[in-house]
Amino acid sequence: MELQDKLQLLRKQKGYSQEQLADKLGIARQTLSKWENGQAVPELNNLISLSNLYGITIDRIVKEDDECNLSLCRNASIDINGIIDFLLMAKKNTYAAANNKAESCRMNSQDYRYEDKNGFTYLDSYLGGECFVGEEAVWLHEKPVWSMNYAGRVTGENFSGDFLKEVLMEVPENLPFRGPEIYTKGDYHYHCKADGGFVWFQGYEEIFYMNEKIYDCYFHGGTIR
């Protein structure tokens, strides 16, 4: 396996987009893209950073060793970018858009379902209203590949469900879990923070009306294998 292929494999295995990994390394996304296209190779300081980030030796990154490459390939069969692309589309066409409401799969649950022609299926199922818990999940050809659990509550009288849906329509590719890190409209302010990559993450979102916190929600999840 050539170096550029291994670099791409390692990044996808950890669930990072090119933008996320470039931010962690303190480099431009275009530089990372050149590494993965074979147009350039990482300098020693960047190899050290990759080694620390992935928890493997520099030798395992740069050597074209069959045993080393086999162990990486076994864990990289899932197309992270494909799941993310589908997930973004599904989120923007279900709860956030008030579309694709589905029949309840549990007693008194609110469900949204979205599918595409490539075999992906998305289901968002939650219980409650002002205090709620739920789960989003993605299947590929009926095999579960990703899931996220969330629990939240409304804590103030000025909460706006329309504002939250507007925020969720802006779900970013680099943090494809809830909304963007910061979103503001008038007196409403949304903040979101997530730790980890797509493979394993946890996060928190909150909404303020002026200076009063009126909503918060915790979420966590990752890929399924």
Helices 3-14 and 44-54, axial angle in degrees (round to 10): 40
Alpha helices in the chain (DSSP H): 3-14, 18-25, 29-37, 44-54, 58-62, 66-74, 80-91, 161-168
Residues facing residue 103 across a β-bridge: none
Res 110 pLDDT > 70: yes
Q: Could you tell me if 24 and 68 lie in one domain?
A: yes
Res 70 pLDDT > 50: no
Q: What's the confidence (pLDDT) of residue 57? A: 85
Count other C-beta atoms under 10 Å from residue 118's C-beta.
10
Q: Could you tell me if 172 and 89 lie in one domain?
A: yes
Q: What's the confidence (pLDDT) of residue 55? A: 78
Name residue 49's amino acid: S
Res 85 pLDDT > 50: yes
Q: How far is CA 106 from CA 55, 100, 204, in A?
A: 41, 17, 26
Percent of the chain with pLDDT over 70: 93
Q: Do residues 148 and 219 lie in contact, with contact meaning Cβ atoms separated by under 8 Å?
A: yes
Q: What's the confidence (pLDDT) of residue 8? A: 86
* Residues 218, 149: Cα–Cα separation, whole Å: 8
Last residue of one domain, picked from the residues 77, 108, 126? 77
pLDDT band at 72 (very low <50, low <70, confident <90, very high): low
The more confident residue out of 117 and 199 is 117
| Phi-psi domain of 108 (left: phi exceeds 0; alpha: psi -120 through 50; beta: other) | left
Q: Could you tell me if 119 and 41 lie in one domain?
A: no
Res 2 pLDDT > 90: no
CATH code for the domain of 71? 1.10.260.40
Q: Could you tell me if 181 and 73 lie in one domain?
A: no
Res 209 pLDDT > 50: yes
* CA 42 to chain centroid: 26
* Structure tokens, 177: 């879990």
Q: What's the confidence (pLDDT) of residue 71? A: 54
* 3-class SS string, 74-135: HCCCCCHHHHHHHHHHHHCCCHHHCCCEECCCCCCCEEEEEECCCCEEEEEEEEECCEEEEE
Q: Could you tell me if 135 and 217 lie in one domain?
A: yes
Q: Could you tell me if 94 and 169 lie in one domain?
A: yes
- For the chain, the domain total comes to 2
Q: What's the confidence (pLDDT) of residue 103? A: 96
Nearest to 161 by CA among 83, 214, 89, 84: 214
Q: Could you tell me if 142 and 219 lie in one domain?
A: yes
Q: What's the confidence (pLDDT) of residue 136? A: 98
Average pLDDT of the residues in 54-59:
82
Residue-range definition of the domain harbouring residue 195: 81-223
pLDDT (tens digit per residue) in 19-36 = 889 999 999 999 999 999
Q: Could you tell me if 89 and 143 lie in one domain?
A: yes
Last residue of one domain, picked from the residues 77, 109, 134? 77
Q: Could you tell me if 43 and 146 lie in one domain?
A: no
Q: Could you tell me if 67 and 87 lie in one domain?
A: no
Res 73 pLDDT > 60: no
Q: Could you tell me if 72 and 90 lie in one domain?
A: no
Q: Could you tell me if 139 and 181 lie in one domain?
A: yes
pTM: 0.71
For tokens 């029949």, name the residue.
Answer: 103
Nearest to 219 by CA among 151, 145, 156: 151
Q: Do residues 116 and 86 lie in contact, with contact meaning Cβ atoms separated by under 8 Å?
A: yes
Average pLDDT of the residues in 97-108:
96
Last residue of one domain, picked from the residues 77, 100, 126? 77
Q: What's the confidence (pLDDT) of residue 77? A: 54
The more confident residue out of 74 and 27 is 27
pLDDT (tens digit per residue) in 159-199 = 999 999 999 999 999 889 999 999 999 999 999 999 888 88
* Residues 116, 206: Cα–Cα separation, whole Å: 31
Q: What's the confidence (pLDDT) of residue 52? A: 86
